[in-house]
Structure 1
Amino acid sequence: MTETICRNRLLQTVLLALVLGAGLLWRSRYLPLSPFLSKYGGDALWALAIFLGAGLCFRHASTLQITLIALGFAWGIEFSQLYHVPWLDQLRSSLPGRLVLGSTFNAPDLLAYVLGIVFGAAAECVCCKRRGG
């Protein structure tokens, strides 16, 4: 998990778009999921999207570095929900703000983020081995 990965930007972009779409569908009313699966599955998909986005931004970083960047970002967003000022709360009250920044700190979300990011890291390691590099 420490080797440098040369990521394919087109593939990363397509995967990111698919994960974002899946996450929006996952949290919608169109899938008959339990509230637990809807909430934490959506959180894991959000974190997976962060992992893919970090891979796009830092294309030549190792999988471990991308994992740590994504985890730091996701946890940073979650812990930022403990900080309340009017302008930030107003931003969080909009749909885009709520989707990106969330609104309320929830400690179990931290584990959902770990699961989504670890899934992305594991998938990247498997794909890298299959491609021979």
Structure 2
Amino acid sequence: MRLVNEGHPAPRSRSLNAVLLAATIALGLASRRYGDQLPPFIAAYAGDALWATMVYWLASIALPRARTTTLAAIAYGISFTVELSQLYHAPWIDSIRATRLGALALGHGFLWSDLLCYAVGVAAASLIDVGLLSLAEAQRRRGNTKDTEH
């Protein structure tokens, strides 16, 4: 029996990835709000890693059939571009960055360490994604095996 979508990646669950997105945002905001209660290393870098993780989940919702490597490249590319944009200062973009939402989305100043944090965040999201895809595939196979046994 031929598997559904054989040769093509199975689509990700948009609803599951939306839950992961919401959880990532909550963790990122909590890491900023309660940073003084976290170990200094975590407080300094978790928010940036989680920001890139959030971008990965957004990409996975927009492109549920994309390969994990494609999503990782998109997420890191966007993160890298946003970080580079922090080298540009003009009144219009600095006024956006001066708002809470603008600061969360665009950041304030370029830091090389953020690029490493983004790589860690994208790698973590990719590993979680691969694990979830493997679980979904195993469940599909069990379902297909049960269907062919009758």
Structure 2 residue corresponding to 1:85, chosen from 86, 90, 95:
90
Report deviation, 1:94.
0.6
- Rg larger in 1 or in 2? 2
CA distance in 2, matches of 1:108, 1:97: 20
Given the alignment of the two structures, is residue 74 of structure 1 paired with residue 99 of structure 2, yes or no? no
Report if the CA contact (8 A) 1:4-1:63 is conserved.
no
Relative contact order, higher structure (CA 8 A, sep 6+): 1
Gaps of 5+ in 2: 1-7, 139-150
Structure 1 residue corresponding to 2:70, chosen from 54, 61, 65:
65
Change (3 A) 1:5 1:69: farther
Show structure 1 runs of 4+ deviating over 4 A.
Answer: none
Number of equivalenced pairs: 131
CA distance in 2, matches of 1:92, 1:77: 12
CA distance in 2, matches of 1:78, 1:4: 31
Gaps of 5+ in 1: none
Change (3 A) 1:32 1:64: same
Counterpart in 1 of 2:133?
A: 128
Structure 1 residue corresponding to 2:100, chosen from 83, 89, 95:
95
Report deviation, 1:11.
0.6
TM-score computed with the length of structure 2 as normaliser = 0.82
Given the alignment of the two structures, is residue 40 of structure 1 paired with residue 45 of structure 2, yes or no? yes
Given the alignment of the two structures, is residue 24 of structure 1 paired with residue 17 of structure 2, yes or no? no
The C-alpha deviation readout for 1:81-120, integer Å capped at 9, x for no partner, is: 0011110011001100000000000000000000000011
Report deviation, 1:47.
0.7
CA distance in 2, matches of 1:15, 1:70: 15
Report deviation, 1:31.
5.9
CA distance in 2, matches of 1:120, 1:47: 9
- Secondary structure of residue in 1 paired with 2:34: coil
Report deviation, 1:60.
1.2
The C-alpha deviation readout for 1:20-45, integer Å capped at 9, x for no partner, is: 01110111137611333112111111
Report if the CA contact (8 A) 2:35-2:43 is conserved.
no
